[in-house]
Amino acid sequence: MDANDLTLDELRIALAPSLADAAIFDGWTDEAVIQAAEMFGADPDVARLAYPGGAMDMIGAWIESVDVKMAEELTAQQLAAMPIRERIRVLVQFRLDAIDGQEEALKRATAIMAMPQNAAASMKRAWTTADLMWRLAGDTATDYNHYTKRTILAGLYAATLASFADDMSEDKEQTKAFLARRIEGVMKFEKVKAKWLNPDRESFSVTRFLGRLRYSAR
């Protein structure tokens, strides 16, 4: 891939993995862009133009580059053969594997995204990623479930990233176990929610209950 043939938007995504590597040492800064451009073979001045919003643009491009890679390598057809919990596990694990070795860049990115002025953009970015994962998992919900599923997955993914960033265990086994527990918790929640939202279930009737009290068997 010749960097000189890429548009700014293409360069923004293509440069992102190298930028994350540079951010391990230089943070999400102009210096990291220069280092990444040199590693990638791009003009540093042109590379700077790809991130007009500074650190948040750089971090957003990094996340989006993982989105693109995930959608290319884990197709909906491949995932369809798996149980739903396995689809979610595979999707999240793919993202963790994609940034393995870049934990310090992740910590720096998390700190920047947590700043009050970046809260709205961070939430939007998290929603976009969760939406992509659910769509790849085959979700077609259009009611309020569409929103609750994405909100829950975004929270699950954020918590797993936090575990991943500090996990010093071999092959990140602690994070894998953490992810499995969180998915199990979500599946239990979904079962309970489905039970209570099932329109065919026997609902509680205050009138019937009071009637039973009044005319209880003797």
Burial class (CB in 10 A: 0-12, 13-18, 19+), 21: middle
Categorize the per-residue pLDDT at 173 as very low, low, confident or very high, splitting at 50, 70 and 90: very high
Q: Are residues 44 and 73 in the same domain?
A: no
Give the model's pLDDT for residue 186: 84
Q: Which residue, chain included where needed, has tokens 């500090």?
A: 166
Euclidean distance between CA atoms 75 and 136, whole angstroms: 7
Structure tokens at 40: 């990638």
Residue whose C-alpha is closest to residue 139's, from 96, 86, 59, 80: 80
CATH code: domain of residue 165: 1.10.357
Burial class (CB in 10 A: 0-12, 13-18, 19+), 47: buried
The mean pLDDT of 148-171, rounded to a whole number, is 96
Which residues have CB under 8 Å from 4's CB, separation 6+?
42, 43
Note down the domain range covering 19.
Answer: 1-52
Q: Examine residue 57 and state whether it is found in any structural domain, yes or no.
A: no
Euclidean distance between CA atoms 152 and 190, whole angstroms: 10
| Positions of E strands within the chain | none
- Percentage, residues of the chain above pLDDT 90: 78
Q: Are residues 28 and 88 in the same domain?
A: no
The mean pLDDT of 79-87, rounded to a whole number, is 94
The mean pLDDT of 200-212, rounded to a whole number, is 49
Euclidean distance between CA atoms 15 and 26, whole angstroms: 15
Cα three-residue angle 56-59-61, rounded to 5 degrees: 105
The mean pLDDT of 57-75, rounded to a whole number, is 97
Q: Are residues 40 and 116 in the same domain?
A: no
Which residues have CB under 8 Å from 148's CB, separation 6+?
none
Q: Are residues 38 and 74 in the same domain?
A: no
Side chain identity, residue 117: Q
Q: Are residues 193 and 103 in the same domain?
A: yes
Q: Are residues 213 and 108 in the same domain?
A: yes
Q: Are residues 104 and 202 in the same domain?
A: yes
Q: Are residues 6 and 82 in the same domain?
A: no
Number of domains in the chain: 2
Q: Examine residue 218 and state whether it is found in any structural domain, yes or no.
A: yes
Q: Are residues 42 and 87 in the same domain?
A: no
Q: Examine residue 59 and state whether it is found in any structural domain, yes or no.
A: no
Q: Examine residue 173 and state whether it is found in any structural domain, yes or no.
A: yes
The mean pLDDT of 1-14, rounded to a whole number, is 90
In this structure, which long-range contacts are made by residues 24-31, counting pairs with CB atoms below 8 Å and at least 24 apart in sequence? 24/102, 24/104, 24/105, 27/55, 27/108, 28/54, 28/55, 28/58, 28/59, 28/105, 28/108, 28/109, 28/112, 29/55
Query: With 90 as the cut, is the pLDDT of residue 193 above it?
Result: no
Q: Are residues 128 and 173 in the same domain?
A: yes
Q: Are residues 38 and 99 in the same domain?
A: no
Q: Examine residue 60 and state whether it is found in any structural domain, yes or no.
A: no
Query: With 70 as the cut, is the pLDDT of residue 204 above it?
Result: no
Q: Are residues 151 and 189 in the same domain?
A: yes
Q: Examine residue 147 and state whether it is found in any structural domain, yes or no.
A: yes
Q: Examine residue 58 and state whether it is found in any structural domain, yes or no.
A: no
Euclidean distance between CA atoms 62 and 70, whole angstroms: 12
Predicted structure pTM score: 0.86
Q: Examine residue 6 and state whether it is found in any structural domain, yes or no.
A: yes
Give the model's pLDDT for residue 209: 45
- Percentage, residues of the chain above pLDDT 70: 86
pLDDT tens digit sequence for 22-62: 999 999 999 999 999 999 999 999 999 999 999 999 999 99
